[in-house]
Amino acid sequence: MIMQGKQGLICGVANKRSIAHAIAKSLHREGAELAFTYQGDAVKKNVQEIADDLGSDLLFKCDVTKDDDIKKLFHDLKHYMHHIDFVVHSVAFADKEDLKKDFHRTSRHGFTLAHDISAYSLIAIANEAYPLMHLHGGAILTLSYYGAEKVIPGYNVMGVAKASLEASVRYLAADLGHRQVRVNAISAGPVNTLAARGISGFTKILDIIPEKAPLRRNVEVDEVGDAGLFLCSPWATGITGETLYVDCGYHVIGM
């Protein structure tokens, strides 16, 4: 029960397949108290059920494209949790059209939207979260993918947004480290979620990993959950600015 007495916020649960759900389950199993955000009414019921299962009745609406939503989220959260120990940011979006066509045809709007939701939102959330981590510091965790550093067909503008996200992790870590606030990312292998299904060729990626990855299989979402728990926990107090691969080793293979 390494997380006994710890509390924090989970952003990015859409349903039971969400990576954020797996991380929340691992944190809950180790004793953490959780609050959840949901993007909008379409997913509210799912998130409510998941929060119930994990012993939480703290549910806040937050569309990360809206500064007011982010400000209100932390204002309201403070009312229930006077301090927080961790925030999980598991949020990304790109227009499906931009994931279908050639990368050089990415529109200005599509580029901006993907970066706003998938990268800038981490900065905006960190800026509101760190003042609530005033007691003993805390941990901020986000989710990235290998497409940040290598070209993955169909990942397109999302890969560029993930590169921005990973750089933001390092800059935030440098900024907030003096307050003992740690900022890290997990670069997860492919997991069959709602967001992943928007990527053309996703099933192909799932087929290639078991042929090439050192562990000869795809990662289980609960393995990403446990790695998320680790990075949010006191086991990882010496780690910040890091992108941790939880991908069955796929990233070490050259061809």
Binding-site residue total for ligand NAD (CB under 6 A)?
Answer: 27
Q: Three-state SS across the chain?
A: CCCCCCEEEEECCCCCCCHHHHHHHHHHHCCCEEEEEECCHHHHHHHHHHHHHCCCCCEEECCCCCHHHHHHHHHHHHHHCCCCCEEEECCCCCCHHHHHCCHHHCCHHHHHHHHHHHHHHHHHHHHHHHHHHCCCCEEEEEEECHHHCCCCCCCHHHHHHHHHHHHHHHHHHHHHHHHCEEEEEEEECCCCCHHHHCCCCHHHHHHHHHHHCCCCCCCCHHHHHHHHHHHHCHHHCCCCCCEEEECCCHHHCCC
Residue number, 134 or 222, with CB nearest to ligand NAD:
222
Of the candidate residues 126, 143, 213, 229, the single one contacting ligand NAD (CB under 6 A): 143
- Residue 10 in contact with ligand NAD, rule: CB under 6 A: no
**Among residues 38, 130, 145, 245, which one is catalytic?**
145
Q: Are 206 and 250 in contact (CB under 8 A)?
A: no
- Residue 167 in contact with ligand NAD, rule: CB under 6 A: no
Looking at 8-16, 103-111, 123-131, 233-241, which segment touches ligand NAD (CB under 6 A)?
Answer: 8-16
Residue span 52-81 as binding mask against ligand NAD, x where in contact by CB under 6 A, dash where not = ----------xxxx----------------
Looking at 95-103, 183-191, 207-215, 229-237, which segment touches ligand NAD (CB under 6 A)?
Answer: 183-191
Of the candidate residues 26, 90, 218, 233, the single one contacting ligand NAD (CB under 6 A): 90
- Residue 157 in contact with ligand NAD, rule: CB under 6 A: no
Residue 145 annotated among the catalytic residues of the structure: yes
Q: Are 115 and 169 in contact (CB under 8 A)?
A: no
- Residue 248 in contact with ligand NAD, rule: CB under 6 A: no
Q: Whole-number minimum distance, CB 63 to ligand NAD, in Å?
A: 4
For tokens 């909008």, what's the residue?
40
For tokens 């299962």, what's the residue?
53
Residue span 95-134 as binding mask against ligand NAD, x where in contact by CB under 6 A, dash where not = ----------------------x-----------------
Residue span 200-239 as binding mask against ligand NAD, x where in contact by CB under 6 A, dash where not = ----------------------------------------
For tokens 């939880």, what's the residue?
246
Residues forming a β-bridge with 38 = 61
Instruction: State the residues that interact with ligand NAD by CB under 6 A.
Output: 12-14, 18-20, 39, 43, 62-65, 90-93, 117, 143-145, 188, 190-191, 193-196
**Active-site residue list:** 145, 155
